[in-house]
Amino acid sequence: MPNASVSPTKNDDLRVAHAVDVLRGGGVVAIPTETVYGLGADAENPAAVRRIFAIKGRPANHPLIVHIAGADRLGDWSPQPSAAALALAERFWPGPLTLVLRRADRVPDEVTGGQETVALRAPDHPLTLALLERFGGGIAAPSANRFGRISPTTAQHVRDDLGAAVDLVLDGGPCRIGLESTIVALVGPRPRLLRPGAIGPEALNEVLGEVIGEVISDAGAGAGAGAGAPAHAGAADAAIRTPGALAAHYAPRAPLDLVPAEALPTRLSRLLDHGERPACLGLGERPSLPAEIPFALLPADAAGYGAGLYAALRALDAARPDRILLVKPPADPDWLAVNDRLRRAAHGSGR
């Protein structure tokens, strides 16, 4: 199937209709969401779903998120969704929240990685919601990038990463949130936070009325059971494999070091003295740097920082530095999702 890129200036109805035709024909469409761009296929077409894995270079046992049009579609994908699932969906959908539930029979193994659970969410982007309504089914979609690399937050990022391998890029402009969705599992005795995102534990607790487990590192877990499981998780939770839960993920090609602001001048000097060419990602205000060092600056608030993080990392990585030094953000609760992504992006590269 030939590659096509639909201009955002064309009529939205025509663009959505084109995307529906591609999906129904077994094609793969890059879709915009408020979090990151997804690489989507018909969730009930195993052959189309397998194309996603081939394009990304993603291991087949990594589950995908199924995007649906809204809370009223939950029962199509999970039998008898719980009161907690319905309450969370009603409160936060469409939005950056993924629910892990027991799967319905219609969900192929290719989507779930062979698990008995399915990850579901309704994205908060007008083009993709219109696409889901018109398509009528679910769209299985991980991030539209090479496996383990920086997630895409613009249509151009998708084209840069995947090129002609994607049948259609539905350009919906830059992603508003810029970090992947919060993932909550509702299959064990208690709800569990498996990946932090824009919807934090406090907001979840307002709906659920109970504490959500903290996310811990899954270093060494690889693609097997336990990846991304929270502290004190029960057996059912610990067995769940979730998207974006590897210890190393969201990574630029250059090694990434997280550096306290006060230590940045010393680290830069040391790298320059050893003949390395570093790049730097600052926070809030520009540090004093030699003019030749590639530099990007992000806002000092968590939402603004998260929205610009992946684009900034991509821009610095494109300069082909030997190493990227990133000024550490605060460890406050508002920064939970940002720090989770940075920890994984820097995993194994520091020194």
Q: What letter represents residue 349's amino acid?
A: S
Q: 95 and 227: one domain?
A: yes
249 part of a folded domain: no
Q: 161 and 62: one domain?
A: yes
> Which among 173, 96, 99, 152 has a CA at the least distance from the CA of 337?
96
* Average pLDDT, rounded, for the chain: 88
What is d(CA 209, CA 206) in angstroms, rounded to the nearest whole number? Answer: 6
Strand pairing partners for 193? 184
183 part of a folded domain: yes
Cβ within 8 Å of residue 196, ≥6 positions away = 182, 215, 336, 337, 340
By CB atoms closer than 10 A (0-12, 13-18, 19+), residue 151 is buried
Q: 117-134: string of b/e by CB count within 10 Å (b at 16+)?
A: bbbbbbbbbebbbbbbee
Average pLDDT over residues 34-56: 98
Q: 268 and 211: one domain?
A: no
CATH number at residue 58: 3.90.870.10
What pLDDT is stored for residue 249 in this prediction?
A: 66
Map 276-298 to HEC letters: CCEEEEEECCCCCCCCCCCEEEE
Number of domains in the chain: 2
Which range marks the domain in which residue 84 is found?
Answer: 4-238
What pLDDT is stored for residue 229 in this prediction?
A: 37
Q: 267 and 121: one domain?
A: no
Taking only the tens place, the pLDDT of each residue in 105-150 is: 999 999 999 999 999 999 999 999 999 999 999 999 999 999 989 9
Q: 200 and 263: one domain?
A: no
Q: 227 and 262: one domain?
A: no
Question: What's the pLDDT band for 217 if we cut at 50, 70, 90?
Answer: very low
| Residues 83 and 180 sit within 8 Å (Cβ to Cβ) | no
Start-to-end CA distance of the chain, whole Å, equals 45
Average pLDDT over residues 15-31: 97
Strand pairing partners for 4? 168
Query: Residue 235: pLDDT above 60?
Result: no
Q: 267 and 170: one domain?
A: no
Of 206, 238, 270, the last residue of a domain is: 238
Q: 229 and 298: one domain?
A: no
